[in-house]
Chains A and B, each alone.
Chain A
Amino acid sequence: MHITDVEFHQAASLDEALDLKQRFGAEAHVLAGGTDLLVELATGRTTTKHVISLSALDGLKQMAVLDDGSLAIGSLVTIAQLCNSPLISGKFTPIRETTIQMATPQIRNMATIGGNIAGAVPCADTPPILICMGATVGIQSADGHRTVPLREMFAGPRQTALKPNEIITSVTVPAQPDNSAAAYERFALRDGNAIPVAGVAGSITVGDAKQITQACITLASVAPIPRVVDDAGQDLVGKTIDEAVVDHIAEMCSNNAQPICDVRGSDDYRRRLVTVLTRRCLYRLRDMIGN
């Protein structure tokens, strides 16, 4: 596909964007931060006929903590905003700890949270931690608005639950319980600007005796979609984090990974990384709760 053959639409309002999406459906590619589009057009990975630019939709570039303590993030909020916003503090800090590891300052200034989700690449960093924190996605179309748990958004590599006429407008992270913690451990082949070879996000909520009352473990980059290891979450309930538990959960997560072999590593290596990263993640959660 050549850029001269693609029709470009600069939406002046969300309504206009939704109208365009309604009209062109699957033939239209939504342009948010744009870190992928020009590369995908150049390499032929995208053969879209229409591009709908959201760059003028300032309303989607805001974030706020709502009355119920949840964090509402507009879908066009950039990764850099998530790194720098004073709203990302307290129990929301794991979001910053994740985003600061992503890509480069330049990319973080462009890339958006909506794009990181809608792109649905298996190695995306934000979905696993946000899933563990119970995030939901606000989706809008000409038909109306709906809310979908983030963990239900992904259908496969580069495939989401979005219908052809829908656009992501927000991501909401609920208020995190006082006695909870969330963390993301990733492994990459170099220290700067590297795509994760594997990642493990985790969250726990504990009772008074530090026994776990709720837990979620989600794997990055080792399955077609962010892999929520439900068995691990369930097995953790009622336990405290000790070596035996960690070993058990780490093995379970490694078995639940469905990694591919590619230039960054073999499936075998990725499974071993999942074991190591799960252990590190759980121990970190324990330390966080301890504090």
Chain B
Amino acid sequence: MAQCLYTFNVNGHSQTVAADPLESLADVLRDRLHLTGTKKGCGAGDCGACTVLIDGSPVNTCLTPIGTVNGREITTIEGLAVNGELTPLQKAFVHEGGIQCGFCTPGMVISATHLLNDNPSPTTDEIKEALTGNLCRCTGYGGILRAVQRCDNYRGDGTCAKKAEPPADKSRKYDNVNISIPRVDAADKVTGRAVYTADVTLPNMAYGKLLGSPVAHGIIKKIDISKADALPGVLTILTGADVTDTLHGVSPARYDEEILAKTKVRHIGEPIAAVAAIDEATCKKALSLIDVEIEPLTPVLDPMQAVADGAPIVHERYKGNINTHVEQEFGDLEKGFADSYHVREEEFIGNHIQQAPMEPHASVATWDHDGTLVLYSSTQVPHYVQYMMAHVLHIPLGKIRVIRPAVGGGFGGKAATSPIDICSALLSKATGRPIKMVYTREETFTYGRGRHKQYMKFKLGVDKEGRIKAFKSEIYLDGGAYSSFGVATAYYAGSMIPTLYHLPAYRYDGYRIMTNKPACGAMRGHGVPQPRFAFECLLNMVADDIGMDPVEIRLRNAMDANTMTVNDLDIGSCEYKATLEQVREKSDWNNKYGKLPAGKGIGIGCGGFVSGAGYCIYRGQVQLSHEKPREHFQKKSIFPHANAIAKVSEDGMAVVLMIGAADIGQGSDTVLVQMCAESLGIPASRIRMRSEDSDISPIDLGAYSSRITLMGGHAVSRAGTAVVEKMKPYAAKLLGCDPSEVEARHATMFPRGNESHTVLWEEVARQYFNDKGPLVGTGCYKPPDGLGGDYKGATVGTSPAYSFGSAVCEVNVDLETGKVKVEKFTDYHDCGTPINPQSVHGQVEGAIVMSTGETIMEDIQFDEKGNILNPNLHGYLLMTIKDAPEIFSGLVDSYESRGPFGAKEIGEGSTLPVLGAVAHAIANATGVWIKDLPITPEKILNALRKKQESAEAPSLAATR
């Protein structure tokens, strides 16, 4: 209907807008008033990211039609910090680790502000109740809870500034690393100032939407766009016939995705047309007017049926629907099992889960007049997006500028180039206008790239002392309709098992299977969490079988430092045993395990991960793939995986740090600034990070394989060191010493051993500029040459360093309903020397909550036609603040000599112990093992019933 004028008060000022009455308040605030601090995470009132106060009460603006808001008072996140001064609560969020990706932060802060207005000293339960409508996928709610609880500490002046700059402690080895400073982007995120891709608006911008296939498997017979094309406001419509035949994907050997399906569709939601129009509403209307005729084929949805004879074929090129088969054997398996005192075989099944970051994917594309594509993308891998865009658009990488605004979480879901990255560019080219495309929550599910569901057959043999003699793993991975990351996933599912325990003999058979479901991809812990869950469960079963304590059996098999694993992975530092001993003591394991009443349980799980993949995803040098010669694999990195530039301002007072490492919420900008500051000898507050723009920042491969702290860290610290080296002769002249004696620390330079004889750092920088012009240092990092063995797939799992961790979980199970309350986690990690301990604990807490949800409630469900039954955040359940357990996160002393300042990874390794620990605790509480994920209350009750029936059966027989 016609637009109406609505007048209401926003943050103290009267606003009048013309809008359709059923437009949501969220859209009006964001698109018309440019108050983009209010975020849209689900559009259905499930996530709370769009929360504002209306007449003082928190509501979901995505559900509020503007027609009902006339005359009302609205407070958005932008209305809290008056004249730029953060409220005490906002300061508390900044300092207590309440912020990671920041996408949930505005809504969270609004809800908490409302709570504290009514109730200045809330109890923990009251805080949880007030925040139960605000989902967070990153923090595990720990930092958020602490921020609200400790808000009082941030009242009064100056607290924020004082806390931001800890006083120099001259006794410390380091000034800027191994210390918890607030995130460099926290203040922007807590005030709603941080710009995410969907917040970007360009002049003359139009919008795009994709039409998804309504059937899971079929042949496209006809696409008639004439009605849609005639709709006023529609700018252009593209179908498969309008786009290149070049296929894209992730693994170069398996590019198999069309930009828009040309002849065949392989899953529901697969893009078949792209529309550009003057606004999103028109796009949606146009989609409904496109006439599509698809001849349906029988969909194949179950991977175990997909490999059966006569099953429908998803891709002709993948015979028998087998996308890839991994076959690896190390050591003498037969002998290992023959020598075993006890052998146990079990089957486990994982679940199909989704990263579900709070920010749905978004892309904005525009073309400069010189033919340069400028693409804003919510990606975690800007360089690979650049590479893939070059590949499908047939233009050099140098003609593509990728801008990565703030990213609201990724967890692997934003690690591939998305259809909206590509289609926004094509629609922009076709219309000559900037195009914005944003996925709905449902589209993030039909786009997929979630965790592969794995069907695992495991066999483990141990000797009398519990030492592992042999292990055999056979895994079928449900890949969905396309390869995406899946080849690597299938290899990772096997390669990472030997990093935790000494395995003298190991065989792995992995099969990635094609099905008519959205493609699975890389998700936090890439391929490993399910096999790790299964292995840890099996190890606990075996320990039980031979009467050994589960911690003890781990200690007897645990990996040691400086070991080459059976599959040729080079383990450097390793404090795995220390993590085991610490969790045992801290959780009071010895007094609890086996001694708890029915319904109460305690369990242990362990895990670890790579600190960055040893090899780039594509071979050879950075170059348009079509122009690349056929290259044989070389056992070294061809180009540096992380590259940094530190540029000192002309007055010496600031350093701009440039590196294309993607901060997607995990906090990489902050730790990189810390490491660069350390090598420059100045406080972190003097460094500004420029990581978002490929025109400014040199290549870093991105946020995947937990690589940035180690690889990016080396690059930035080397760039800092390069700057200091250039400054040394000038400092030496001022100090009257030899350049080789000069050190930089606390923003001064001095002769080694004489810290009282100083010259200001900035003065030296100015002297350099006066003489030589720009003061710039560069640094880069290549993984060591020669990583990995010489067998097929040996590169997967290689890394400069490996993390280790152990977790103990305590649960309470309602034996009548099967409901699991995960009450407590005790976790110790070996992440090397932490750069920012608060960030490390934030990763651990977030991983525990995410992976606990993965273990007990997350599951994408499909109907028999291939429709997702729960493509939303009320059917697909994420843990709320009320579900999150109490968490103790501890770190063991560790130093990794291959890592910068002794550091290793934490982001993915932190997920791996969790699933097994929860499963073990549930088994311990109930007496039944649930071997398929998620461990729902219903499965627990079914297992208890089955156990009871089989217990009763013999006694019944006896009475007959």
Contact = CB atoms under 8 A, between A and B. Distances in A.
A145 interface: no
B132 A104 contact: yes
Interface string B925-948: 000000000001110011000000
Contacts of B869: 262-263
A106 B111 contact: yes
B44 interface: yes
Given A105-B133, A106-B111, A190 B43 contact: no
B632 to A, nearest CB: 49
A105 B131 CA distance: 8
Contact of A38 (B62, B288, B938, B941): B62
Contacts of A187: 817, 819
B284 A2 contact: yes
Interface in A172-196: 187, 189-195
A4 B285 CA distance: 9
Interface stretch (B17-25, B348-356, B475-483, B914-922): B17-25
Contacts of A34: 63-65, 68
A192 B22 contact: no
Interface string B28-48: 000000000000000111101
Interface in A91-119: 103-107, 109-110
B63 A39 contact: yes
Contacts of B281: 2-4
A155 interface: no
Interface stretch (B306-314, B368-376, B875-883): B875-883
Contacts of B321: none
B51 A8 contact: no
B234 to A, nearest CB: 13
Contact of A109 (B20, B43, B59, B880): B59
Contacts of B857: 189-190
Interface string A38-52: 110110000000010
A35 B62 CA distance: 9
Contacts of B276: none
A6 B67 CA distance: 12
Interface in A242-268: 262-263, 265-266
B132 A4 contact: no
Interface in A184-224: 187, 189-195
Contacts of A162: none
Given A105-B111, A187-B817, A269 B938 contact: yes
Interface in A1-53: 2-8, 10, 31, 34-35, 37-39, 41-42, 51, 53
Contact of A194 (B285, B817, B877): B877
Which of A5, A103, A106 has the most CB atoms of chain B within a 10 A radius of its CB? A106
A106 B874 contact: no
A7 B861 contact: no
B58 interface: yes
A272 interface: yes
Interface residues of A, number: 43
B46 A193 contact: yes
Interface in B539-576: none
B180 to A, nearest CB: 29
A49 B21 CA distance: 13
B870 interface: yes
Which of A5, A8, A38, A263 has the most CB atoms of chain B within a 10 A radius of its CB? A38
A41 B70 CA distance: 21
A133 interface: no
A41 B285 CA distance: 12
A192 B128 CA distance: 9
Contacts of A35: 45, 60, 63
B130 interface: yes
Contact of B63 (A3, A110, A192): A110
Nearest to B67: A8
Nearest to B876: A263
B85 interface: no
A142 interface: no
Given A193-B133, A269-B941, A38 B816 contact: no
A220 to B, nearest CB: 15
A193 B880 contact: yes
B855 to A, nearest CB: 13
A186 to B, nearest CB: 11
Interface in B787-819: 816-817, 819
A39 B44 contact: yes
A82 interface: no
Contact of B21 (A10, A107, A262, A273): A10
A190 B883 contact: yes
A276 B817 CA distance: 7
B1 interface: yes
Interface of A is mostly: mixed
B68 A38 contact: no
B817 A3 contact: no
A110 B64 CA distance: 9
B938 A104 contact: no
A38 B24 contact: yes
Nearest to A44: B288
Given A192-B882, A263-B875, A53 B285 contact: no
Interface string B856-879: 010001000000011000110101
A80 interface: yes
A265 B936 CA distance: 9
Nearest to B133: A104
A272 B941 contact: yes
Contacts of A8: 1, 4, 20-22, 65, 67
Nearest to B70: A10
A192 B881 contact: yes
Which of A6, A193, A276 has the most CB atoms of chain B within a 10 A radius of its CB? A193
A3 B23 contact: yes
A10 B1 CA distance: 13
Contact of A4 (B1, B48, B60): B1
A55 interface: yes
Nearest to B111: A105
A246 B879 CA distance: 34
Nearest to B48: A106
B634 interface: no
Which of A4, A41, A103 has the most CB atoms of chain B within a 10 A radius of its CB? A4
Nearest to A36: B63
A5 to B, nearest CB: 8
Nearest to B880: A192
Nearest to B281: A4
A195 B51 contact: no
A189 B940 CA distance: 13
A107 B133 contact: yes
B941 A191 contact: no
Contact of A3 (B22, B44, B114): B22
A125 to B, nearest CB: 14
A8 B3 CA distance: 10
Nearest to B819: A187
B129 interface: yes
B876 to A, nearest CB: 8
B133 A38 contact: no
Contact of A190 (B48, B114, B877): B877
Interface string B113-133: 010000000000000111011
Contacts of A31: 65, 68
A282 to B, nearest CB: 14
Nearest to B816: A276
Nearest to A277: B817
A191 B880 contact: yes
B20 A4 contact: yes
A262 B875 CA distance: 10
Contact of A37 (B43, B65, B861): B65
Given A6-B22, A106-B51, A263-B861, A191 B882 contact: yes
Given A105-B114, A193-B874, A276-B817, 10 more contacts: A3-B22, A4-B285, A31-B68, A105-B58, A109-B57, A110-B59, A187-B819, A192-B128, A192-B883, A263-B869
6 contacts: A5-B1, A34-B64, A110-B59, A192-B128, A193-B880, A263-B869
